[in-house]
A and B are shown apart, each in its own frame.
Chain A
Amino acid sequence: MRAVQWEIVVGLEVHVQLSTCSKIFSGASTAFGAAPNTAACAVDLALPGVLPVLNRGAVERAIRLGLAVGGRIRSPSVFARKNYFYPDLPKGYQISQYELPIVEGGSVAIRSGEVDRVIRLVRAHLEEDAGKSLHEDFHGMTGIDLNRAGTPLLEVVSEPDMRSSAEAVSYARTLHALVRWIGICDGNMQEGSFRCDANVSVRPAGSDRLGTRCEIKNLNSFRFLEKAIDYEAGRQMEVLEDGGKILQQTRLYDPDRNETRAMRSKEDAQDYRYFPDPDLLPLEIGEDWIAQVRRDLPELPQQMRQRLERDHGLSAYDAAALTADREMAQYYEAVVARLPDDPKLCANWVMGEVSAHLNGVGKSFDGCPLSPAQLARLLGRIRDDTLSGRMAKDVFGRMWAQAGDDPVAWKDRKEQAGEDLADRIIESQGLRQVSDEGELEGWIDAVIAANARSVEEFRAGKEKAFNALVGQVMKVARGKANPARVNELLKKKLTG
């Protein structure tokens, strides 16, 4: 154990790549994966004489986030130039927002373990991304690809409100879900659409002064975020326990060695000479625009979570899980709309069978081959006793196999198409469960006759023996017997 009780303090700066089709200041495409420099136009390349023109779509997405986190939309906000030389920065400056960002304040509610916490935001500002340096060997040279240059980013800066790597991850995950939920970012971390910089410091527990912080750059997975913070906090504790001092610096996380190291470039000594960009005028956002964006904003995950608990009677866990992903939540809502009496059944199937099948083929809910209507019909057959739960899973598997051949996702199909798929399978496969008393009694009598020992055991008080008998009935019935009815009749016969 450590001699001193340390507290970890973390603030995150998250670069959210906005899902516009064109760049923030030019009409070049933002599509990922184009051949090098084929999506870099004259403006992105900073040819002499070219000028930036701001993309309305980027501004609207920033407003959307600002409203979703309850921040203030500043008007006017101002674009500034951050000056430094780097080969992936064609103009020699990055257009960003400095003193007057588009979003100020706001907060994100997180749940870390069993604890609810509110992480306050400082600001969110619009800026352009830089290009990419490729360090493969070009005769000792570095290759520069400027396709990414000018891609719109919203940098979301939190207060240093997190007290552990787990809280930091929880915040990052919540923000990640939120930006996808409100449709401003595709959230693809492999492609760099959601990148975190973590500001980490430590202080003796109980202290209210912040320690010197280090910034860990470019963490592009939640796992690396967690490990980098843990490593860095541990490093700082050791330095301090050895009587050393923490130097404020920018560090890189090396996932192979699971350690952070100071960057070699002199970035810390930089003097960015920010000043308002004279090529761009102040950005004014009218109240009417803000009101319009507010109207178009979907119900937010936090609100929906509360509604599912309150109106659908779902557990906090189920409500949280369903609202972690907007597509899943929408799918669930579409199912439950057709089966309003049993939200719990709908939730279980959406989070269970459907989710598992989608994971298996790497698809999202929007790409699900089975429509909510088709699922609702199947679940209806459980409700009306046509199918047992187990039979329903069997039918679902067959539905998936059939619909899986259809390359068109449910969202893109006519809503009603093939809604009776479950019924057709039930009919053609003769999968209807048997609830008829006479038929059931036939099977039960036969099982009682053939399992005298189990019957004796049950009568002697062994509950387990009852389950064995039910199992035997189901076997004899080849799975088609209504298990609830079997239970009921068997109990009556044995005890009656």
Chain B
Amino acid sequence: MLNSSVARLSALLAARKISSVELTSAFLERIRSLNPVLNAFISVDEEASLGQARAADAVIASGEAQPLTGIPIAQKDIFCTRGRLTTCGSRMLSNFVSPYDAHVIERFDAAGAVNIGKTNMDEFAMGSSNETSYFGPVKNPWDVAAVPGGSSGGSACSVAARMAPAATGTDTGGSIRQPAALCGISGLKPTYGMVSRYGMIAFASSLDQGGPMAKTAEDLALMLNVMAGFDARDSTSLQREPEDYARDLEKPLAGLRIGLPKEYFVKEVDRDVARAVEAALGEYRRLGATAVEVSLPATRLSVPVYYVLAPAEASSNLSRFDGVRYGYRAPAYADLDDMYRKTRAQGFGAEVQRRILIGTYVLSQGYYDAYYLQAQRLRRLIAQDFVEAFRQCDLIMGPTSPTVAFDLGERSSDPVQMYLSDAYTIAANLAGLPAMSIPVGFGQGSRPVGLHIIGNYFAEARMLNAAHRYQQATDWHLRVPQACPDGAPGTRE
């Protein structure tokens, strides 16, 4: 049961082979046994989850079930959840019980899904290893000495370790795709504007996008069907006809043109990662796809551009955390300014402070043009490269991350090394394009490798189709981490 896909569980629930209460109990028990080691969840409210499960069973009994009714979903702790702790991985919000629900949470509630718990994350989604969480690092279920990636590391870990069949994540520069790759699961960042940001605590507003994380592409499609949709409360939410993202899953891939950016296969990619990606591309050729070389020359600027724009927006977005209306307030201070300074110095961790300082600097008088404006100009060049490339191909593929999961502590003292982990994923955020990662093998230390797939705007169904067909032909997505073998603990009966 714990190893089953969402699609399979949905069928079992519909056929009354299992109940949501049974399913939810099994995952809760799994969390109880593994979370002390893996630290994937910040908060779990068993009673609330079981309450939702009972309600879901009633809905199923009444014949009104939707595909996700009764399915436990792990929610990244960046999504405001009414009446529940919503910390964003920060001391600043360590006591924050949200008075309202994020749009994404409302959608899952309306779909009858069960919120199985709030997952750990890099503080305010700033990090690529999950080591910046106030609640301690998440461990990689494939090797507890390794990081799970970030910032949606808790979500990735929870799915990989079978503590949840699927999870939500958010992706500002790779925060869904990189941890998905490092934990051997599938994750999708949709086109900017498809998933409402209302109630999703902002990191960098023009780049943030929520998306699904699951074992299979098919599950991602089912999740996206719930998450995507217009929301009048988000001015950047796009008004589009609803679509079924699972509609094209089975389409044959014959004729699919895969663009391979020559810039992606450079020396920075580790050999083991390159090998696994090459093998996956070979599989795609067998499935009927053809490869074309494309060029994304401006992509090499992604990291510097991102580390100007994202901190700039973040420095402003995080100004609201001032200890006045909610959240942490320093216990002792001399005056108002001192309260601000101490509250923010104590409430934010080192990485968040670092990014606020970078962002403040690049926006400050005398530096705005050279940094912020220049970065926005280069952002356009980066986006234009993709427009050009998509004239020649349908999807762009490459490695999600230049390396497999690195060891805990290995990069935490060197921000630049850490920032380079996202070298391949950032460009899609800057351009607002949909992008995903699927598991395609293992590299050094038997740690997973992810294949990065970038699509044109609104090409999610096509991307999911390509990922699904690959998963039909391979079994990387079915591998279970040794640290948590086969899911037996949850099925004692």
- Chain A contacts to B: CB under 8 angstroms: 42, 45-54, 81, 83, 85, 87, 90-93, 142, 144, 271, 273-275, 278-281
Contacts and interface: CB of A to CB of B under 8 A. Distances in A.
B246 interface: no
Contacts of A54: 235
Contacts of A279: 202, 205, 235-236
B206 A278 contact: yes
Contacts of A83: 315-316, 319, 363
Given A91-B319, A93-B319, A281-B235, 13 more contacts: A46-B325, A47-B326, A48-B80, A48-B93, A49-B98, A49-B197, A51-B233, A53-B234, A83-B363, A87-B324, A271-B364, A275-B372, A278-B204
B355 to A, nearest CB: 15
A274 B368 CA distance: 9
Nearest to A146: B325
27 contacts: A46-B320, A47-B98, A48-B93, A48-B96, A48-B320, A49-B80, A50-B199, A51-B198, A51-B233, A83-B316, A87-B322, A87-B324, A90-B320, A92-B316, A92-B318, A92-B322, A93-B316, A93-B319, A142-B336, A271-B365, A273-B363, A274-B363, A275-B312, A275-B372, A279-B202, A279-B235, A280-B235
B198 A50 contact: yes
Contacts of A85: 319, 322, 337, 340
A279 B337 CA distance: 27
Interface in B80-133: 80, 86, 88, 93, 96, 98-100, 102
A306 B335 CA distance: 59
Contacts of A51: 197-198, 233-235
A48 B198 contact: no
Nearest to B344: A85
Contacts of B197: 49, 51
Given A85-B340, A87-B336, A273-B364, A47 B99 contact: yes
B198 A49 contact: yes
Contact of A53 (B233, B324, B326): B233
Query: Taking each of A51, A53, A92, which has the highest tally of chain B beta carbons within 10 Å of its own beta carbon?
Result: A51
Contact of A273 (B79, B318, B360): B360
Interface of B: 79-80, 86, 88, 93, 96, 98-100, 102, 197-202, 204-206, 232-236, 312-313, 315-316, 318-322, 324-326, 336-337, 340, 360, 363-365, 368, 372
A91 B102 contact: no
A92 B365 CA distance: 18
A92 B359 CA distance: 14
A274 B367 CA distance: 12
A48 B79 CA distance: 9
Contacts of B325: 45-47, 90
A278 B205 contact: yes
B99 A42 contact: yes
A135 B198 CA distance: 34
A51 B204 CA distance: 13
Nearest to B312: A275
Contacts of B202: 48-49, 279
A358 B347 CA distance: 59
Contact of B316 (A45, A48, A144, A275): A275
Contacts, number: 97
A51 B193 CA distance: 13
Contacts of B93: 48
Contacts of B99: 42, 47
B235 A42 contact: no
Contacts of B312: 275
Nearest to A46: B320
Nearest to B365: A271
Nearest to A42: B100
Contacts of B204: 278
A48 B321 CA distance: 8
Query: Taking each of B199, B202, B235, which has the highest tally of chain A beta carbons within 10 Å of its own beta carbon?
Result: B235
A84 to B, nearest CB: 9
Nearest to B326: A47
A89 to B, nearest CB: 9
B75 to A, nearest CB: 13
B8 to A, nearest CB: 33
A92 B319 contact: yes
Given A49-B199, A273-B316, A275-B372, A281 B236 contact: yes
B204 to A, nearest CB: 7
A271 B364 CA distance: 7
B340 A48 contact: no
Contacts of A50: 198-199
A49 B233 contact: no
A127 to B, nearest CB: 16
A48 B86 contact: yes
A93 B233 CA distance: 19
8 nearest A-B residue pairs (beta carbon): A92-B319, A278-B205, A273-B363, A278-B206, A46-B320, A49-B199, A48-B201, A49-B201
Contacts of A273: 315-316, 360, 363-365, 368
Nearest to B193: A281
Given A51-B234, A273-B364, A278 B313 contact: yes
Contacts of A53: 232-235
A279 B93 CA distance: 22
A48 to B, nearest CB: 4
A53 to B, nearest CB: 5
Nearest to A91: B320
Contacts of A142: 336
Contacts of A91: 319-320
A47 B235 contact: no
A139 to B, nearest CB: 15
Contacts of A278: 204-206, 313
A252 B363 CA distance: 29
A262 to B, nearest CB: 19
A92 B323 CA distance: 12
A79 to B, nearest CB: 10
B380 to A, nearest CB: 14
Query: Taking each of B201, B312, B316, which has the highest tally of chain A beta carbons within 10 Å of its own beta carbon?
Result: B316
A216 B368 CA distance: 29
A461 B320 CA distance: 88
